Amino acid sequence: MNINQAVISDGIDELRSSTRGDVLTPSDGAYEEVRRIWNALIDRHPGAILRCSGTADVAAAVKWARKHDIEVSVRGGGHNVGGRAVCDGGLMIDLSRMRSVYVDPVAKTVRAQGGALLGDVDRETHIFGLAVPLGVVSQTGIGGLVTGGGFGWQSRKRGASCDNVIEMEIVTAEGGVLTASAEENADLFWGVRGGGGNFGVVTSFLFRAYDLATVVGGLIAYARDAGAQVLRGYRDFTMNAPEDLTVYAGFIWGPDGTPLTALVPCWIGDDKEAGKKAIEPLTKLGEPLMVEIGEMPFPAMQAMLDEAYAPGSRNYWKSAYLENLSDAAIDEIVRQAEGMTIPGSALLIEHTAGATLHRDANDNALASRGWDYLLGVMPMWQDAKDDEEQIAWARNATDAMEPYSSGMAYANYVSEGDEAIMEPSFGDNLKRLREVKRKYDPGNFFHLNANIAP
């Protein structure tokens, strides 16, 4: 595509006259702030940014970009580690002002605009004692999370985030607006749930919601050198854990830079005393340095990791679904954790077995349903001088885990430059996804994503 700034400049008045949102160019004072996203490793400069006021703006922006052959990126929450929300020289379609959330407490459904964050949804649903199965960091945008899959504290019982979508409103590559559901444009509905941002801009989601006001959760911390022992205990525990309980494990750092082995449990069942009893064995896998477990509002649990994943750090993430958590796999994870040198970085294991795996693989495009554990290799650092070393650690650690991996990655943990890994990660769904792409976006207009070429 032609991303010459002169082309944008010549057509910018046309874009302004056809939209109600703010159009920003590099000469505007707010431009620098708006172009920046969560991952500070990504430093791109769009030729223009449209801060959309609604679906009509999104449709107008797509039509304008097609007319002038301008490359497009789409920003929801801007939290994607690969930085796909922002392009160099093209048009950023920014949904970050489209954050309205509407709850129907009788039907137990929630409609949220495409720019909403997890925290926006949690805030509105909580007053009705409801919750939508989303992720685990409240600053995350729902758009990228859901179209890429979406795992969180409810997933083991209620499925991935994309499994809980009833309907979507989507602006297509032609600038049209479609409803996608099981009854209407069902092929598009299938593909967008797990196939990422390949097929259009989702301007609103209709979700199922569930009764959930409070949970039992928190943090259990052990010394780093207890890692192998704790992970073996974690594996044995999770093999028989009830689906009301999700536990993440891994290697993190304390606020003072102390290296830790951590467990983060969350019980979503009604019986909170049963939840406390279910979690208790996790406090006896060694000599814990800290045990902070208790009942809390669900939004508090959702925000518990926010500080650890605040914007401004440089990030390069890799992921792998593990075929098992064998002793040899655990020993390799522990070895790779020794190369994690900068506080803030993490090497995490997410237990995803349960309802996510039980669903029919043909229900939607999320292909990675056969594995119990997802490994996230997540260096986070501040100084550009550390870029090469930290990226190399992530790549080497992931390569070292290859003998224990399914060979599939998680779309939402794919960093810039690693997009090629997504084709094998779509598995048997890839052929069908290509068919959907050819139907709705044959020219690959939407390609700044984990791209599926038509």
Residues in Cβ contact with 421 at an 8 Å cutoff, skipping those fewer than 6 apart? 409, 414
Q: Kindly report, as residue ranges, where domains of CATH 3.40.462.20 are found in the chain.
A: 214-424
Please give the CATH topology (third level) of the domain spanning 5-94. Answer: 3.30.43
In angstroms, rounded to a whole number, what is the distance separating the alpha carbons of residues 150 and 165? 11
- Report whether 66 contacts 18 (CB < 8 A): no
Whole-number pLDDT of residue 11: 87
- Report whether 187 contacts 195 (CB < 8 A): no
Cα distance from N-terminal residue to C-terminal residue, the chain? 16
What digits encode the pLDDT tens for the residues 28-79?
999 999 999 999 999 999 999 999 999 999 999 999 999 999 999 999 999 9
Percent of the chain with pLDDT over 90: 87
Give the β-pairing of 101-104 and 109-113: antiparallel
Higher-pLDDT residue of 110 and 9 is: 110
Distances, alpha carbon 123 to alpha carbons 126, 214, 281, in Å: 5, 13, 32
What digits encode the pLDDT tens for the residues 277-317?
999 999 999 999 999 999 999 999 999 999 999 999 999 99
CA 200 to the chain's CA centroid: 18
User: CA torsion angle for 308, 312, 313, 319 (degrees, to 10)?
Assistant: 70
Q: Which of 207, 175, 170 is nearest to 191 (CA)?
A: 170
Residue bearing tokens 């401004």: 312
What digits encode the pLDDT tens for the residues 349-388?
999 988 877 777 678 999 877 789 999 999 999 999 999 9
Q: Kindly report, as residue ranges, where domains of CATH 3.30.43.10 are found in the chain.
A: 5-94
Whole-number pLDDT of residue 3: 46
Whole-number pLDDT of residue 281: 98
Q: Kindly report, as residue ranges, where domains of CATH 3.30.465.10 are found in the chain.
A: 101-211+427-440
What digits encode the pLDDT tens for the residues 433-454?
999 999 999 999 999 998 888 8
Q: Which of 186, 169, 260, 248 is nearest to 223 (CA)?
A: 260
Whole-number pLDDT of residue 23: 97
Distances, alpha carbon 351 to alpha carbons 36, 126, 344, in Å: 32, 25, 21
Binned at pLDDT 50, 70 and 90, residue 2 comes out as: very low
Question: For the CA atoms of the chain, what is the radius of gyration?
Answer: 21
The average confidence (pLDDT) of the chain is 94
Q: Is the pLDDT of residue 4 over 70?
A: no
Two structure tokens written together for 75: 């920003």
What digits encode the pLDDT tens for the residues 231-254?
999 999 999 999 999 999 999 999
In angstroms, rounded to a whole number, what is the distance separating the alpha carbons of residues 132 and 211? 9
Q: Which of 3, 204, 186 is nearest to 86 (CA)?
A: 3
Q: Please, what's the largest Cα pairwise distance for the chain? A: 67
Residues in Cβ contact with 434 at an 8 Å cutoff, skipping those fewer than 6 apart? 452, 453, 454
Please give the CATH topology (third level) of the domain spanning 101-211+427-440. Answer: 3.30.465
In angstroms, rounded to a whole number, what is the distance separating the alpha carbons of residues 343 and 351? 24
Residues in Cβ contact with 160 at an 8 Å cutoff, skipping those fewer than 6 apart? 133, 149, 150, 151, 194, 356, 366
Please give the CATH topology (third level) of the domain spanning 214-424. Answer: Vanillyl-alcohol Oxidase; Chain A, domain 3 (3.40.462)
Q: Is 332 exposed, middle or buried (0-12, 13-18, 19+ CB in 10 A)?
A: middle
Measured N-to-C along each axis, helices 55-68 and 5-17 cross at an angle, to the nearest 10 degrees, of 140
